[in-house]
Amino acid sequence: MSLLKIIKYGHPILREKALEIKSLGSREQDLIDSMIETMYANHGLGLAANQVGVLQRIFVLDVDQDREAEDEVATRAPRVFINPEITWESAEDEPFKEGCLSIPGVENEVFRPSQVKVSARDENFEPFEVEADELLARVIQHELDHLNGVLYVDRLSLLKRKLLGGKLNKIKSATMEELPSLPDSYPILIG
């Protein structure tokens, strides 16, 4: 288990579609543990495998943690979604301000369905279904987008995206500078 580096906007792996997982081995278990650790260390509500350089259909989230609690660690309730699929979504969209660990310093209101039903496999590779609303529905949709190479900024209006352009370009330039050194840091990049 180790802290993983989060890949930032501009890196091509964030635009790749992650691949379905056929079975869970020790490598995937380690990855899941490390993703959970990395999510908490970066104060994220969720984290998708693309964001740590792995093209496998896994994301983790925790929308129940009470960050204000005296013992916030005790309130943690991480959940693992493997090969997730949205099987139903509500007709009405609602706005919510989203940020992304791969797009630091930027937040914007995104419209998405307010409720979704999702089927996935858990950390034991057991299938489960969940009906989600509010924050859980939001985070599931954001993370599932990552696994399909989609970022929330893609869902903004052209005008809003234009307004963000300068900030996004700055993040992208920093990412491109780092790019040549990335393969060494990601021994499990391919697989």
Among candidate residues 28, 68, 143, 177, the one labeled active-site is: 143
C-beta of 32 vs 100, nearer to Ni ion: 100
CA 45 and chain centroid, separation = 8
Q: Could you tell me the smallest distance in angstroms from the CB atom of residue 99 to Ni ion?
A: 8
Compute the least distance from the CB of residue 15 to Ni ion, in Å: 13
Binding site for Ni ion (CB under 5 A): 100
* Closer by beta carbon to Ni ion, 24 or else 65: 65
Q: Which is nearer to Ni ion, 10 or 24 (CB)?
A: 10
Q: Are 47 and 60 in contact (CB under 8 A)?
A: yes
Pick 24 or 132: Cβ nearer Ni ion:
132
Residue 125 β-bridge partners: none
CA–CA separation, 122 and 114 (whole Å)? 23
- How far is the C-alpha of 104 from the C-alpha of 59, rounded, in Å? 19
Active site residue 143: yes
Integer CA distances (angstroms), 131 to 60, 66, 116, 117, in order: 16, 22, 6, 4
Rounded to whole angstroms, the Cα distance separating 50 from 119 reads: 20
Q: Least separation, in Å, of the C-beta of 49 and Ni ion?
A: 12
Q: What residues are annotated to the active site?
A: 143
